[in-house]
A and B are shown apart, each in its own frame.
Chain A
Amino acid sequence: DAGITQSPRHKVTETGTPVTLRCHQTENHRYMYWYRQDPGHGLRLIHYSYGVKDTDKGEVSDGYSVSRSKTEDFLLTLESATSSQTSVYFCAISGNPWAANQETQYFGPGTRLLVL
């Protein structure tokens, strides 16, 4: 597996509180992504980054913000958590400078978030 970790792995929070999830990579991949996975919806892209301080919205970005101040770290913030944001969140990376297939995405282990 590519060196990609997510923290925390599990979190329970209350509606209205801010939550920050962290994705950390040690592979020097250029691109980083945040997805959420829900039954019946597969994986949906929240935000992605194509370089330090360069981010863009995905399919389901409302209620989420991201930041990338270093190549290694990509933070996802739920500004005011709602029950609809209960989900499993996956971070992924791509753009391995040494790989033939730079489109291949490598996934972290996921964060299970429960908003009560």
Chain B
Amino acid sequence: SQQGEEDPQALSIQEGENATMNCSYKTSINNLQWYRQNSGRGLVHLILIRSNEREKHSGRLRVTLDTSKKSSSLLITASRAADTASYFCATSGGYQKVTFGIGTKLQVIP
């Protein structure tokens, strides 16, 4: 079974708007990662946040982690058509194995 569950499963927004995706998980983690997958391609790592961190930024990406609620969010600000992709959270309990969620499919309309 999947550790992480993304919400919503699909999201459609206009270019320039912000996109927020959420991930909930069940057991304690060492870190949580977000990946992007463009159609027909492999996953690309976006950002990693450790369990002792609450917020992390990378360019237009902002990730938060609330370990008490076992949840994380990925915010993409000022979205672009090129951000159209599926986004996955992946949780790790401290070893190299990670468990991926089912993903959120984001469509950014130009």
User: Residues of A contacting B90 with CB < 8 Å?
Assistant: 105
Contact, CB under 8 Å: A104 / B33: yes
Contact, CB under 8 Å: A45 / B99: yes
Contact, CB under 8 Å: B98 / A103: yes
CB-defined interface of B66-110 with A at 8 Å, one 1/0 digit per residue? Answer: 000000000000000000000010101000111111110000000
**Minimum distance in angstroms from B10 CB to a CB of chain A:** 12
Complex-state Cα separation, A59 to B90, whole angstroms: 15
B16-48 with Cβ < 8 A to chain A: 31, 33, 35, 40-45, 48
User: Residues of B contacting A110 with CB < 8 Å?
Assistant: 40-42
Complex-state Cα separation, A43 to B43, whole angstroms: 10
Contact, CB under 8 Å: A42 / B2: yes
Complex-state Cα separation, A102 to B91, whole angstroms: 14
Chain B at the A interface: mostly helix, strand, loop or mixed? strand
**Minimum distance in angstroms from B9 CB to a CB of chain A:** 9
Number of B positions contacting A (CB below 8 A): 22
A91-116 with Cβ < 8 A to chain B: 92, 94-95, 101-110
User: Residues of B contacting A109 with CB < 8 Å?
Assistant: 41-42
Contact, CB under 8 Å: A42 / B96: no
**Is A70 part of the contact surface with B, judged by Cβ < 8 Å?**
no
User: Residues of B contacting A48 with CB < 8 Å?
Assistant: 96-97
Number of A positions contacting B (CB below 8 A): 26
Complex-state Cα separation, A101 to B50, whole angstroms: 10
**Minimum distance in angstroms from B32 CB to a CB of chain A:** 10
CB-defined interface of A39-77 with B at 8 Å, one 1/0 digit per residue? Answer: 011111100101000000011000000000000000000
Contact, CB under 8 Å: B92 / A107: no
Q: With A104-B45, A109-B42 in contact, is A42–B97 under 8 Å at CB?
A: no
Contact, CB under 8 Å: A107 / B98: no
10 A/B residue pairs, CB under 8 Å, sorted by A: A31-B96, A42-B2, A44-B100, A48-B97, A58-B97, A92-B42, A103-B33, A104-B33, A104-B45, A109-B41
Q: A45-B97, A105-B45 are known contacts; what are 10 more A-B pairs with Cβ within 8 Å?
A: A41-B102, A43-B43, A44-B100, A48-B97, A58-B97, A94-B96, A102-B96, A103-B96, A105-B43, A105-B90
